[in-house]
Structure 1
Amino acid sequence: MAVLSRRVRPDDWKPVGVDALEANALKVVRSANNRSVIAGPGAGKTELLAQRAAYLLQTGTAPAPRRILAISFKRDAATNLAARVRQRCHRNHAGRFDSMTFDAFAKSLIDRFGQALPERWRPRPDYEIIFPNDRDYRDFLYQTVGTPPASVGTYADLQAIAVKTFERRLLVGSPLPLGGWSNPTPGQWAADRLWQTSLHEGKKSVLSFPMIGRLAELLLRVNPMARDALRLTYSHLFMDEFQDTTQIQYDLVRTIFLGTDTVITAVGDNKQQIMRWAMAMDDPFTAFDSDFGGKRTPLYNNYRSSPELVRIQHVLAQALDARAVAPVSKTAGTIAGDSCAIWDFSTPEVEADRLAAFVAAEMKTHKLGPRDFVLLVRQKAADYAAVLEPAFATAGIPLRNEAGTVGAVMLQELLAEEASELVVAILRLATTKRAGRYWTDCQEALAALRGVSPDEEAAQARLAGELDAYAIKLTAAHSSPPKSKAVARSIMDDILAFIGRERLIAVHPAYGQGGWLDKVLDAAALHLLASSAGGIDWPSALDAYEGVHAIPLMTIHKSKGLEYHSVIFVGLDDGAWWSFSNDQIEATAGFFVAFTRAKQRVLFTYCARRGTRTKIATLYSLLEKAGVQTFSIT
């Protein structure tokens, strides 16, 4: 793909790498004002942002040396967007595009400027990241914190605080008061005690990511120089998956950019809001349009799903938003038979056998690979995997539970970790005969880690020589995949020594806290060892590591942003959806997300042994309204 380094006149600029964009998408790409873009599933949200970055950088609308900041909810989304911009832009332009998660952005601010916080709110530089749950908050409120002063309240007042809302409403519910809470309520007193304990009373400061977000907002509120530096740095801000933005994240962006010349593009789909349990705002789009004067712009095309699936999706969408506009499918249907059906099975074992046989037949008929399919479940993926895995193995298709953990890391998250991706790229380079693609990936990654710019030809040549020499050395030392955990970990450590541990931490600061890097490397070593079982060669072991030939099993939440030829949702019953009545809107949004991962087919399975379908009758009614039929399979 040709990418331009010279400046293009705005009127002469054309979309890069695609035939065309829909009219509204092109308006957003060229816009000079704040926009809130409502883009349904398959609308090409990532492509829209990549094209906007290309336009801004190539036309000089984002003038050097100013940069573009893109903030995503998930790390793989941030990585994917950065990769697309590199494909569409000359490296001199792409080098001015910063793509990261909200958590990484907030953490980078605390790591750079955190010591400028007032003493009450200042974490120690070597703070540790924690992931507290309801039980931790319950123990704190009812056991650890003690009795508040009489002027504040009683122990009974603390017991009256709902554990599930303590973090959301009290600990991080609103911007931190510079001098602490004056005349605190019992809840505010408890929140302040947890803040002070976490920051000052242990061997290290311990902070969750929501706490880091609140500290970052306070930091920029009380340090105009740091805030102004960010305003000067970034001419444009992109916010992806905006429907999942939390109040913490929104307040941080508001503190930095409200009233500035930074142009903001917020993209998402209010029908795919499935993170309210993780503190997502109820309606961030309305808040954004009000505060930033965002111009609401809908996208109508669906480039992912067939016309029949888009028709059914619209029925589901109207249950979430009565004003939802029917999207236009830009993809042809390629399968015979039903695009969507419900299969009722007599037993889970019959279900597993029939699904494995179906996938095997579909792969043959349509020349598909295992990763063109996904098995989705609502929760407890390991329970489903225990029954499904043997049946798929018998059919000659490995099944992989990507919701499972390897060591201390979830498998799906391990595969998205920068350290894991870099290790695999270097092993691919060293052990693949025609390694051109891996060579480019490794060269670019190492250049970024070492601060070598694209136009430093001598330094790039030295880097290429080092990479070449190291690949030969690595192959000589490890001609075959590891047969023990110790050897697998030694490979990780050897590659890390070549990359440079401190360089990796400098570029990816999360690896500098709480031993996270070693946890990732340990998990990578365990996974590499498991992937090498049976004395296979390096290419096969690395294919197994990445799951190239395995059908993935994952939860709905982890499927967000992904797409597959066929989606098989296992377990559409009350047992899996036991909490449906607690928040029907979010549960229906989760159902919508699962459905819209599919390009050509969606299957739902039901087995009476796992539960009735009374509580989720609403979902079955929606499918029936869309004309989806049920078939009994014994």
Structure 2
Amino acid sequence: MIRVEQWSPADGLSLEPNALVAAKEIDRNLALTAGPGAGKTEMLAQRADFLLRTGSCRYPKRILAISFKVDASQNLKARVRKRCGQELAARFDSHTFHAFAKRIIDRFRLVLTGRDALDPDYSIGKHRVQRRSITFDDMVPLAVQIVESSQIARNAIRQTYSHVFLDEFQDCTNAQYELIKACFQDTTVRLTAVGDTKQRIMGWAGALEGIFESYAEDFDAHPLNLYQNFRSEPRLRRMQNAMVHVMDPPAALDGADLPGDEGEIEVLRFDNDDDEAEALADSVRGWIDDEGVNPSEIAVLVSKQQNLYCQKLRAALDAKGVPYRDEDATQNLASEPVANLIVDFLLVAAGQRQPGPFQRLLDLVVFGRGLDQENEYRARSRWNRFVATVKQRLAAEEADLADLDDLRTIVNELLDIVGRDAVVALSSEYAHGDYLQLQIDATTDRAHTLMSEGDDPVTALASFSGDQAAKIMSIHKSKGLEFDTVVVLGVEKQTFWGDQDAERSAYFVGISRAKRRLYLTVCNERERPEGANNRWNVARTEHDEFVGYATPYL
């Protein structure tokens, strides 16, 4: 343990001034907003290191971090472990909102009575069945009910945690915010809410308007902003800053604070989308072959309807043999959390050393469950035995991953040891209908097909993830990702046609995905693609404002 004044950021990293203030804050709740690439996760990891290493989070108190996605929750836990070591990180619990809600329900289930009463072996399924099953959407409201009605539950939660981190807070829904207030409002627990109001493009999911303002008032939170984008080269950062001048003038930097000519921005104008597709396919091929850019570091982003806008581009990429993956959530199996779980395990079972998949599995199965030290040890021992047993069966040729029946057996064993409830909690869609089972079956069938083609299992499964493929996706799906080279396709008034504040925010998200190179494309005409309705505009007009942000930096 060290004194507060002796602490400095772990691993010799430097933080911008406001990030350092946030990391070392002791007395106040914080409302921290930041732009894309501003190092929000790193700031939280350094804050955890400060609180644990200085004893500001007094033993045996713990830190609770709540994220919206499983991968974000796991990444933050891993970052904290890297910064302050396994021993101190054992007092850092990182959950999604639904995982946190389920822990409350499991621990204080008996508070629920009447129609909400649950049996000890209740499950999470597609239908509400009295005492036996709840739906994914029931979890947070039931947790709120428990905390609001039981002083014992409230006290237990408040006595466990001295600090709470709320990541990507701009996407917090009403029900989730009610859970936070029920647990921690008017207490000595210190909250740090982190997010980016410029990225609040999830209104369809019930995200609150003005959530940071409401939170700041309800929790008397001190506002801070992080401005620096460490992801992008200076030329790209200046374009982004030009947008900030319009979107949030007080948050903009002086141009002198962003020196350097590194980075590349181009606007490509075409007569039609045939020329656009051919030129882009040639460019992507060249970036891969001539510059050695990893295909996974290239992304083509579309405001909306990428299945329509990218039909010709996909055909052109196919014709030139360019590996790509369409990230449309309705088509892309590899984006499914359960698919990643299954493939990670098969890689570990079949490969000699798979540190990435191995650590992701440990985070999900062991470290991500908020267990105490003894139960965490038992869970890890149980998991290690399972992995070793499957490896032995494969080595002894008692099971064959290329055999579909054997593969299905191993996948079912994996899901049983992880726990069906934990698997359902990976995605809100898994609690509805037979969607989860369809994804499990599709993943198993796809993995079987790949491993039956003669390559060794590790090579075959690596192709499943598409790590060696360029990405085609909507701007919304690109949120939180980063790429060496980004193409924003169709910067036209007919593409960004909605509410201009919302469209400006989405466009900002898109351009800020690029680390080194940004291309914007504009067409005079876009032929109506197959599947488009009569509202499709063939004639196109350049979006003067959006292209104008790039013009000074070409």
1:73 to 68, 72, 92: 68
- Residues in 2 aligned to 1:271 and 1:614: alpha-carbon distance in whole angstroms: 30
Q: Once the 2 structures are TM-superposed, how far is the Cα of residue 543 of structure 1 from its aligned partner?
A: 1.6
Q: Once the 2 structures are TM-superposed, how far is the Cα of residue 421 of structure 1 from its aligned partner?
A: 3.8
Deviations 1:135-181 (A, max 9, x none): xxxxxxxxxxxxxxxxxxxxxxxxxxxxxxxxxxxxxxxxxxxxxxx
1:605 to 517, 521, 526: 521
- Residues in 1 aligned to 2:540 and 2:381: alpha-carbon distance in whole angstroms: 64
Deviations 1:239-263 (A, max 9, x none): 1112222222222211210111111
- The within-5 A match list for 1:335-350 is 335=263, 339-350=264-275
Q: Once the 2 structures are TM-superposed, how far is the Cα of residue 331 of structure 1 from its aligned partner?
A: 9.5
Q: Once the 2 structures are TM-superposed, how far is the Cα of residue 355 of structure 1 from its aligned partner?
A: 1.0
Q: Once the 2 structures are TM-superposed, how far is the Cα of residue 52 of structure 1 from its aligned partner?
A: 1.0
1:431 to 344, 350, 360: 350
Indicate if the aligned counterparts of 2:235 and 2:261 stay in contact, CA closer than 8 A.
yes
Q: Does 1:89 align with 2:16?
A: no
Classify 1:482/1:553 alpha carbon distance in 2 versus 1 (closer, same or farther; 3 Å).
farther
**Structure 1 vs Structure 2: percent identity of aligned residues?**
33
Indicate if the aligned counterparts of 2:333 and 2:443 stay in contact, CA closer than 8 A.
no
- Residue 63 of structure 1: SS of its match in structure 2? coil
- Residue 301 of structure 2: SS of its match in structure 1? strand
Indicate if the aligned counterparts of 1:274 and 1:587 stay in contact, CA closer than 8 A.
no
Indicate if the aligned counterparts of 2:235 and 2:262 stay in contact, CA closer than 8 A.
no
1:562 to 477, 481, 488: 481
Q: Once the 2 structures are TM-superposed, how far is the Cα of residue 473 of structure 1 from its aligned partner?
A: 2.0
Indicate if the aligned counterparts of 1:400 and 1:553 stay in contact, CA closer than 8 A.
yes
- Residues in 2 aligned to 1:258 and 1:558: alpha-carbon distance in whole angstroms: 33
| Structure 2 counterpart of 1:430, one-letter code | A
- Residue 349 of structure 2: SS of its match in structure 1? helix
Q: Once the 2 structures are TM-superposed, how far is the Cα of residue 272 of structure 1 from its aligned partner?
A: 1.6
Classify 1:378/1:113 alpha carbon distance in 2 versus 1 (closer, same or farther; 3 Å).
farther
Q: Does 1:397 align with 2:316?
A: no
Classify 1:456/1:331 alpha carbon distance in 2 versus 1 (closer, same or farther; 3 Å).
farther
Q: Does 1:275 align with 2:202?
A: yes
Deviations 1:30-71 (A, max 9, x none): 111211112112110011111111222222222232221111
TM-score, normalised via structure 2 length:
0.85
Q: Once the 2 structures are TM-superposed, how far is the Cα of residue 368 of structure 1 from its aligned partner?
A: 1.5
- Residue 304 of structure 2: SS of its match in structure 1? coil
2:419 to 504, 523, 527: 504
- Residues in 2 aligned to 1:244 and 1:358: alpha-carbon distance in whole angstroms: 36
Indicate if the aligned counterparts of 1:106 and 1:213 stay in contact, CA closer than 8 A.
yes
Residue in 1 that maps onto 2:151: 224
Classify 1:45/1:426 alpha carbon distance in 2 versus 1 (closer, same or farther; 3 Å).
same
- Residues in 1 aligned to 2:439 and 2:228: alpha-carbon distance in whole angstroms: 39
Classify 1:318/1:462 alpha carbon distance in 2 versus 1 (closer, same or farther; 3 Å).
closer
- The within-5 A match list for 1:69-218 is 69-114=64-109, 116-119=111-114, 126=122, 207=135, 209=137, 212-218=139-145
- Residues in 2 aligned to 1:223 and 1:616: alpha-carbon distance in whole angstroms: 59
Q: Does 1:8 align with 2:13?
A: no
Indicate if the aligned counterparts of 1:572 and 1:604 stay in contact, CA closer than 8 A.
yes
Indicate if the aligned counterparts of 1:306 and 1:599 stay in contact, CA closer than 8 A.
yes
Indicate if the aligned counterparts of 2:74 and 2:364 stay in contact, CA closer than 8 A.
no
Q: Once the 2 structures are TM-superposed, how far is the Cα of residue 502 of structure 1 from its aligned partner?
A: 5.0
- Residues in 2 aligned to 1:10 and 1:27: alpha-carbon distance in whole angstroms: 12
RMSD after superposition: 3.6
| Structure 1 counterpart of 2:409, one-letter code | D
Residue in 1 that maps onto 2:532: none
- Residue 535 of structure 1: SS of its match in structure 2? coil
- Residue 346 of structure 1: SS of its match in structure 2? strand
Indicate if the aligned counterparts of 1:382 and 1:404 stay in contact, CA closer than 8 A.
no
- Residues in 1 aligned to 2:300 and 2:286: alpha-carbon distance in whole angstroms: 16
Indicate if the aligned counterparts of 2:339 and 2:439 stay in contact, CA closer than 8 A.
yes
Indicate if the aligned counterparts of 2:491 and 2:547 stay in contact, CA closer than 8 A.
no
Residue in 1 that maps onto 2:288: 363
Q: Does 1:591 align with 2:507?
A: yes
Q: Once the 2 structures are TM-superposed, how far is the Cα of residue 370 of structure 1 from its aligned partner?
A: 0.6
Q: Once the 2 structures are TM-superposed, how far is the Cα of residue 287 of structure 1 from its aligned partner?
A: 1.3
| Structure 1 counterpart of 2:2, one-letter code | V
Indicate if the aligned counterparts of 1:375 and 1:569 stay in contact, CA closer than 8 A.
yes
- Residues in 2 aligned to 1:75 and 1:462: alpha-carbon distance in whole angstroms: 22
Residue in 2 that maps onto 1:175: none
- Residues in 1 aligned to 2:539 and 2:132: alpha-carbon distance in whole angstroms: 50
Residue in 2 that maps onto 1:470: 390
Indicate if the aligned counterparts of 2:124 and 2:431 stay in contact, CA closer than 8 A.
yes
Residue in 2 that maps onto 1:149: none
Shifted more, 526-535 versus 296-305: the winner is: 526-535
Classify 1:446/1:289 alpha carbon distance in 2 versus 1 (closer, same or farther; 3 Å).
closer
- The within-5 A match list for 1:206-355 is 207=135, 209=137, 212-326=139-253, 334-335=262-263, 339-355=264-280
1:35 to 27, 30, 34: 30
- Residue 280 of structure 1: SS of its match in structure 2? coil
- Residues in 1 aligned to 2:125 and 2:287: alpha-carbon distance in whole angstroms: 45
- Residues in 2 aligned to 1:546 and 1:53: alpha-carbon distance in whole angstroms: 32
TM-score, normalised via structure 1 length:
0.75
| Structure 1 counterpart of 2:273, one-letter code | P
Runs of 5+ in structure 2 lacking a partner? 528-535
- Residues in 2 aligned to 1:615 and 1:228: alpha-carbon distance in whole angstroms: 60
Indicate if the aligned counterparts of 1:56 and 1:62 stay in contact, CA closer than 8 A.
yes
| Structure 1 counterpart of 2:467, one-letter code | V
- Residue 42 of structure 1: SS of its match in structure 2? coil
- Residue 274 of structure 1: SS of its match in structure 2? coil
Classify 1:61/1:624 alpha carbon distance in 2 versus 1 (closer, same or farther; 3 Å).
same
Indicate if the aligned counterparts of 2:65 and 2:165 stay in contact, CA closer than 8 A.
yes
Q: Once the 2 structures are TM-superposed, how far is the Cα of residue 521 of structure 1 from its aligned partner?
A: 2.3
Residue in 2 that maps onto 1:45: 40
- Residues in 2 aligned to 1:276 and 1:283: alpha-carbon distance in whole angstroms: 11
- Residues in 2 aligned to 1:199 and 1:466: alpha-carbon distance in whole angstroms: 33
Deviations 1:547-584 (A, max 9, x none): 11111112111111111111112233455445x1xx32
| Structure 2 counterpart of 1:627, one-letter code | T
| Structure 2 counterpart of 1:23, one-letter code | P
| Structure 2 counterpart of 1:326, one-letter code | L
- Residues in 2 aligned to 1:128 and 1:454: alpha-carbon distance in whole angstroms: 27
Q: Once the 2 structures are TM-superposed, how far is the Cα of residue 85 of structure 1 from its aligned partner?
A: 1.4
Indicate if the aligned counterparts of 2:487 and 2:520 stay in contact, CA closer than 8 A.
yes
- Residues in 2 aligned to 1:465 and 1:121: alpha-carbon distance in whole angstroms: 38
Q: Does 1:627 align with 2:551?
A: yes
- Residues in 1 aligned to 2:193 and 2:210: alpha-carbon distance in whole angstroms: 13
| Structure 1 counterpart of 2:316, one-letter code | A
How many pairs align? 537
Indicate if the aligned counterparts of 1:235 and 1:261 stay in contact, CA closer than 8 A.
yes
Indicate if the aligned counterparts of 1:68 and 1:96 stay in contact, CA closer than 8 A.
yes
Q: Once the 2 structures are TM-superposed, how far is the Cα of residue 538 of structure 1 from its aligned partner?
A: 1.8
Indicate if the aligned counterparts of 2:94 and 2:368 stay in contact, CA closer than 8 A.
no
- Residues in 2 aligned to 1:532 and 1:218: alpha-carbon distance in whole angstroms: 48
- The within-5 A match list for 1:439-458 is 447-448=366-367, 453=373
Q: Does 1:382 align with 2:297?
A: no
